[in-house]
Amino acid sequence: MKLSTTTAQNSFKYGWLLSRIWPYIKPYWFRITLGFLVAIPLGLLDGVTAFALKPYMDYVIGGKNLEFTLFNHNFVIYSMQMAKLLPIAVVLFAGFQGLLRYLNGYLSTWTSQRITNDVKFDLFHRLIHMHPQFFDENSSGIIISRYMGDPQTASAGIVDQIKTITTSVFGALGLIAVMLFSSWKLAIIGVIVLCVAFVPVALIRKRIKEASNKNMVIGGNITTNINETYSGNKVMAAYELQDRQEKYFREQTWDSFKINMSLYKRSGWMSPIMYLIASVGIATVLGVGTYLINSGEMTAGSFASFVTSLLLLYKPVKTLGNTLTGIQNLFVALGRVFELFDLKPEIVDSPNAVELNGFYNSINFNHVDFEYIEEHPVLKDFNLSVSKNEALAIVGNSGGGKSTLVNLLPRFYDVKSGSITIDGIDIRKFTLKSLRKNISMVFQDNFLYSGTVKENIMMGNPYASDEELKQAIKSAHLEETIEELPNGIDTMLGERGLTLSGGQRQRVAIARAMLRNAPIVILDEATSALDNESEAIVQKAMDNLMRNRTVFIIAHRLSTIKNANRIAVINEGELVELGTHEELMNIQDGHYKALYEMQFKKQEVLQ
Ligand SMILES: Nc1ncnc2c1ncn2[C@@H]1O[C@H](COP(=O)(O)OP(=O)(O)OP(=O)(O)O)[C@@H](O)[C@H]1O
Ligand SMILES: [Mg+2]
């Protein structure tokens, strides 16, 4: 399945998405609620600031005393006392607000990161069990943005939105309360103006979404470009592809620039317009306010509180407007995340799968048809029987289907029709794990992970003893190579094992396969030429690996072919010839003979 870079089908089923994310939120409900509770006073505190202006204006500047009755006692706060109390209150208040803000920030960061982690853990678990074709079809850029970027946006977004919405809603409510308390008439005018000012926000939400989708596509392409620049750096240097890569990068970055600018052109007028509408509102309030103060309906202090509240109200309301877009992005990301959750690996254990514990007689390919892309057959009616402990060399033209054939055995791909059997049992009846445990593979490209040499070899069998490890290294003829490395077997290899030579990498891969000690061995001989000395040593290592095992070896070298019991010649996905070297050489105008004349004879002369 090819992943899309933009929206997923389910991005608009809000209820469904929330029910899917709920299990991830649930474990942290207590802390989230606590954060929610802290956000309420935090929001309300804005109102207090505005409210404090009233006593300051009326009692301190106005020189009045505050008299009030509490529990049947009369209290008086004199103007001068108020003048001293208020500054202290301001500082205490700021301290309290700071404390709440820290607590709230801590709780929301903690919970959002924990939820993100949990989602990422589960997604990565699914990713590593996807079938190879999934990786064939999706570029690394898309995988990175969809498996790492989206969970961040989705999970962190939920908690952040809860936090922002609570603080803003309660902030707005607190300020509106102060406004109503100061003058309900003015408050109605203020609220109406604010509502009108936010109409443009609703109008341009769709445009923002379109642009952010386009940006995501470009982001994925840029990541792929950087990955390819990295992995292909030698090819780039050799073929002077720097200009090409740079051109792509510049084009993609400019595309992103254009999208952002066009977005701004279409939405940038919104903010100034909002300010304009708001200023009309404030002008109206000032006019009406002056009238109310003059007519004695309102004190100057109340008016100051009111205007401050109105100005402060702009922020939470604007934040709420922005969260609308934020929430939309959140649901898009959630939709994309849960689309990944619902991807099923195509190669899985069948129900009632049994364990494969070694084998006794033979491995058979029965009328196997296979294709990667529909209507483009790669293997056609392929029949072959390999008996236990036989070494079968597979030769043929490039692109004929040799690697494909051996990739079917560990079920990297499943046959389209026909079957592959081990001792007469279809390999689809075995558990994947046990099937693959019985196969040691050395690939054409010999991928090594970043880590030490030892780690890379031990991947063959993590439980191997030191003695077994030593033996594997010896059989792979790696002893000398390892001795020469700066830290011996604990030397760190670069990403993809790049600090080793081709032949050395191949032998590390052979040692890894050796340690696995599986009855079936698949060797996809590297096509890259090695010098004679390395070739001889790799050959010895391979001979050791092949001893007493059932071997499928895709051979490009005459020496390997001659070591095999039989040779299978594959041409255009069909088994065209099968037999020993001598038998095949006797076929007049045969494929093998032609290959021999073309490729192998030269090697024989060289040896
Ligand atoms: N992952 C893939 N997706 C789609 N097509 C593929 C894939 N891998 C291989 N093919 C196609 O299948 C055909 C057989 O490829 P395969 O790798 O099996 O050839 P090969 O015999 O191993 O060649 P070589 O000797 O060059 O390694 C080729 O036409 C190739 O383009
Ligand atoms: Mg191949």
Which letter, b or e, does each residue of 21-39 get, where b requires 16 or more Cβ atoms within 10 Å of its Cβ? beebbeebeebbeebbebb
Contact (Cβ atoms closer than 8 angstroms) between residue 392 and residue 568: yes
pLDDT tens, position by position, 470-529: 999 988 889 888 998 888 899 888 766 667 888 888 889 989 999 998 999 999 876 555
- Distance from the Cα of residue 46 to its chain's centroid: 39
Residue 428 DSSP symbol: G
**Which alpha helices (H) appear in 26-78, and where do they start and end?**
29-55
Query: What is the DSSP code string of 453-478?
Result: HHHHHHTT-TT--HHHHHHHHHHTT-
Report which bound ligand comes closest to the CA of 370: 1
C-alpha–C-alpha distance, residues 526 and 437, integer Å: 23
CA-407 nearest atom, ligand 1 = 18
C-alpha–C-alpha distance, residues 506 and 426, integer Å: 31
**Among 580, 558, 557, 559, CA closest to 568:** 580
Contact (Cβ atoms closer than 8 angstroms) between residue 493 and residue 453: yes
Ligand 1 residue neighbourhood (C-beta within 6 Å): 136, 372-373, 378, 396, 398-404
Residue type, 299: T
pLDDT of residue 413: 95
Long-range contacts of 398-403 (CB under 8 A, 24+ apart): 400/570, 400/571, 400/572, 400/573, 401/370, 401/570, 401/572, 401/573, 402/524, 402/554, 402/570, 403/444, 403/524, 403/554
pLDDT of residue 320: 82
Distance between Cα 341 and ligand 1 center (Å): 30
pLDDT of residue 336: 87
- H, E, C per residue of 298-324: CCHHHHHHHHHHHHHHHHHHHHHHHHH
Cα-atom radius of gyration of the chain, to the nearest Å? 36
pLDDT of residue 1: 73
CA-403 nearest atom, ligand 1 = 22
Long-range contacts of 453-458 (CB under 8 A, 24+ apart): 453/482, 453/485, 453/488, 453/489, 453/490, 453/491, 453/493, 453/508, 454/489, 454/490, 456/493, 456/497, 456/508, 456/512, 457/489, 457/508, 457/511, 457/512, 457/515, 458/512, 458/515
- Of all protein residues, the one whose alpha carbon is nearest to atom 5 of ligand 1 is 372
Residue type, 226: I
Distance between Cα 550 and ligand 1 center (Å): 23
Residue type, 365: F
- Of all protein residues, the one whose alpha carbon is nearest to atom 26 of ligand 1 is 398
| CA 30 vs CA 27, 178, 356, 443, 565: distances in Å | 8, 31, 48, 50, 68
Which stretches of the chain drop beneath a pLDDT of 50? none
pLDDT of residue 349: 94
9-341 folds as ABC transporter transmembrane region fold (1.20.1560)
C-alpha–C-alpha distance, residues 16 and 12, integer Å: 9
- Of all protein residues, the one whose alpha carbon is nearest to atom 10 of ligand 1 is 372
Assign domain 449-517 to its CATH superfamily.
P-loop containing nucleotide triphosphate hydrolases (3.40.50.300)
Distance between Cα 399 and ligand 2 center (Å): 7
Torsion of Cα atoms, 395 then 398 then 403 then 405, to 10°: -70
Contact (Cβ atoms closer than 8 angstroms) between residue 309 and residue 173: no
Distance between Cα 528 and ligand 2 center (Å): 12
- Of all protein residues, the one whose alpha carbon is nearest to atom 14 of ligand 1 is 401
Residues in the chain: 607
pLDDT tens, position by position, 521-544: 999 876 555 666 677 788 888 888
Distance between Cα 411 and ligand 2 center (Å): 16
How many other C-beta atoms can be found within 10 angstroms of the C-beta atom of residue 292?
A: 20
Q: Hey, where are the domains in the chain?
A: 9-341, 449-517
pLDDT of residue 6: 64
The angle subtended at Cα 453 by Cα 449 and Cα 454, nearest 5°, is 110
pLDDT of residue 132: 92
Pocket test for ligand 1, best of 347, 375, 378 (most atoms within 8 A of CB): 378
Pocket test for ligand 1, best of 375, 404, 409 (most atoms within 8 A of CB): 404
Distance between Cα 365 and ligand 2 center (Å): 18
- Of all protein residues, the one whose alpha carbon is nearest to atom 4 of ligand 1 is 372
Report which bound ligand comes closest to the CA of 396: 1
pLDDT of residue 205: 66
Q: Do domains 9-341 and 449-517 have the same CATH topology?
A: no
Element (H, E) at 492: strand 492-493
Distance between Cα 597 and ligand 2 center (Å): 21
SS3 514: helix
Distance between Cα 378 and ligand 1 center (Å): 8
